[in-house]
Amino acid sequence: MADFYRQRRQLNEKIATAVGAACTHARLLFNQALEELKSSTNETLRIAMFNSTNMFPSMIARFGEQHPSIQLSLCKANRPDVFPENCDVMIHAWPELAAKLNSVCLLDEECLLGMNHDHPLAQAQQITLEQLRKQSFLLLTKNNILGELTHNYCDELGLLSNVSLVCDSQQTLTSLVEENMGFAFFPARTWKIESQALCLRRIEGHALHRKVYLSTPNGARSPVTQTFCRFVEAFFRSLMQPEEAN
C-alpha cells in the first residue's frame, strides 16, 4: 500500500482512485479483524473437568504458554446430567451427557486392577476372575463417575459382595491399596499414580474401559472456545501416538 501511494501519480487517475479505494477498504477490514481478535483473546475461558487427571495439568500449562492472553478459570465437573452453569467447555467421562452436547471422544482408556506390589497376585501379569473370588475390593462412591462404573463392573463379574470399603476420595483409595487393604481400579492414562507400592494388572478376559470426552453446549462456539478445543484435540492426538506406535 505504501508503494502504491508513492507511485499513484504515475497511474491513470481513474485506476489510481479505484485501487486506492480498494486498498483503503482492505486496510479497514484488516483493522476490524485485528480488533476482534484482540477482543476475543482477552476473554476468560471457563473449563469444567473431573478432578483426577495425570495429563490435564501439563495440558493446561502448555495452553497457557501458547495463549498467554486467554484467562483460564477451572471448576469441578461433578454432575452427570447437567452442563456446569457459566462454563464454556467441559472435559468429563459421562457418555450420557456427551450424547446431549457437542462432543468428541478424546480418549478410550483401560481401567486396570491396582494392588500392593507385595500381594501374591502381583507376580502375575494377568489375573483370572477365579483368583479374585476371595479378594477384597475398594471402590469409590457412586456419585463419582469411576465409582459408578466400577460398581457396575463388579456387579457384572459377581464381585460386588467382595467390596469391603467405599470412599469418596481418590487419594484415600490409593492410600488404602498402598496399605494392602484390598484391590481397586485405576484408569491407566488419566490417573497420576506415583506410589512405588502399587502395581497395575489386567483381569484376564474382562477388560474395563472408560471414555473421556470434550464437550461444549450445542450451538456456535466462541473463537476462544474453538481455539481451546482445537488445542485439546491436538494434544490428545499427540499423546496417543507413542502408544499406537507400540
Residues 149/175, Cβ–Cβ less than 8 Å: no
With a cut of 90, say whether residue 157 has pLDDT above it.
yes
Percent of the residues in the chain that have a pLDDT greater than 90, as a whole number: 57
Q: Give the number of C-alpha atoms closer than 13 A to the C-alpha of residue 129, restricted to the C-beta side.
A: 11
185-222 pLDDT, tens digit per residue, is: 999 888 877 778 899 999 999 999 999 999 999 988 99
Which residue is listed with cell 487427571? 53
With a cut of 50, say whether residue 238 has pLDDT above it.
yes
Across residues 110-139, what is the average pLDDT? 94
The percent helix, strand, coil of the chain (3-state, each to 5) is 45, 25, 30
Residues 109/149, Cβ–Cβ less than 8 Å: no
Question: Which three cell numbers, joined as nine digits, stand for 225?
Answer: 472456545
Model's pTM, two decimal places?
Answer: 0.74
Phi then psi dihedrals of residue 36, to 5 deg: -65, -40
* Whole-angstrom distance, CA of residue 183 vs CA of residue 194: 17
Task: State the pLDDT at residue 82.
Answer: 84
46-91 pLDDT, tens digit per residue, is: 999 876 567 788 899 999 999 999 999 988 776 777 888 889 999 9
Phi then psi dihedrals of residue 144, to 5 deg: -100, 135
